[in-house]
Amino acid sequence: MRDTLKNVALLLVSVIVCTLAAEGFLRTLAPQRVPRFPRGLFLADPALVYRLTPGFRGVASTGEYRTSLRIDRLGLREDRDYGSKPARTQRILALGDSFTMGVGVESTEAFPKVLERLLSTTEGGGSVEVLNAGVPGYNTRQERTYLEREGLALQPDLVLLNVFVGNDIHDNLHEERVRVVDGLLVDDSDAPGGLLPQGLRIALSRSHLYQLLWPLQRRLRDATYRETEKQRLANYLAIYARKPGAHVEAMWQATWKEIARTRDVVAEHGSRLAVVVIPELRQVDPTTWENATDYQRDEPNRRIVEYCRREGIPALDLLPPFLMAGQPRRVYFRIDNHWTVAGNLVAASALQQFLTSFGLAPGTSPRIVATGTGGWR
């Protein structure tokens, strides 16, 4: 009996040591995509589904970065609290998702603050404030709702509506399936997929070993997993299709509705609106499109810009400047797929040129606007 207990204890110790060794190996040499946000960052909100927790302090970390998060009293990712707009100051409010918030970089390295510094150097530009109202996972409907409820109180002269190609068009049609559980975002669409209770899965989610093994167990126990993932990818790529179906057109109609409502809200406030199209890594990586005969890389970007042109809304497509920047892995994180410091600089530089060309930057007047390969439209 004593020998049996010793063997069991030895086996348990061996399993623990091997597990820790595997976890350390993956974290160092082959990091997986793990949840990036700390507990407590999110707060449930009846109108917005969720929001950033005012006054939150924490750290966002993955295998690729470790950055500080400071949320001000208004729920913005800012290093100071903002009040009424100072005299002789132009205030720009940047609405968007995690790309706008600056996931993966410090707040001063995210493109809203880089843009603020670039605009402040414009001759005769005066004082400029660019406020970062980006919230991870937000779609255009949530951004418009936030603008109506709270954003306009910040007295913006210009509102930047940042539209992420990766999921905004899809999410504008579908209801949010996320909720806040103990300060974390939980996607209910993934809830039925695991053997372990949801609470334990949340606790293990930051383990790189767990993230490696999770899809493996799905493949082993679910005969339909491969087909399900194939269909999910097809749905994801539908907005790139050269011949989109009715469901895709419904997504676009929902998107046009939200952009138009945002324009009207901004106009009633006496401010101005500009739309910025944020490309996903898939669009910037040339290997993705080598044999993509049924899909067009810039299809969603083209449709957004053309719609805005018809509606008289200035619009910037960031795909051309990111293609010109080259080396996708220099401007996007390899695993996380958000912009690096270099990527945020590319975006801010293109925005500075765009705002100056449209006379939207302080101290500027409208000039001839470049199109196509120039990087803005």
- Give the pairing type, strands 42-45 and 49-52: antiparallel
Could you tell me which residues come within 8 angstroms of residue 272 by beta carbon, excluding any fewer than 6 positions away? 157, 158, 159, 266, 360
pTM of the model: 0.86
Kindly state the average pLDDT of the residues 63-71: 93
Model pLDDT, residue 353? 95
Query: Residue 129's closest CA among 166, 156, 164?
Result: 156
What is the dotted CATH code of the domain comprising 80-174+238-374? 3.40.50.1110
Q: Is the pLDDT of residue 213 over 70?
A: no
DSSP state of 177: -
Give the containing element (helix H, strand E) for 7: helix 2-29
DSSP letter at 226 equals: H
90: phi then psi, degrees, rounded to nearest 5: -95, 125
pLDDT band at 223 (very low <50, low <70, confident <90, very high): low
Give the residue-averaged pLDDT of 328-354: 95
Following DSSP, what letter does each residue of 250-270 receive, concatenated? HHHHHHHHHHHHHHHHHHHTT
Beta-bridge partner residues of 61? 66
How many degrees, rounded to 5, is the angle at CA 340 between CA 334 and CA 346?
125
- Which pLDDT belongs to residue 137? 94
Write out pLDDT tens, residues 124-170: 556 899 999 999 999 999 999 999 999 999 999 999 999 999 999 99
For Cα atoms 357, 139, 188, give the angle at the middle one, nearest 5 degrees: 160
DSSP for 279-346, written as a single string: PPHHHH-GGGGTT-TTB-TTHHHHHHHHHHHHHT--EEE-HHHHHHH--HHHHB-TTT-SB-HHHHHH
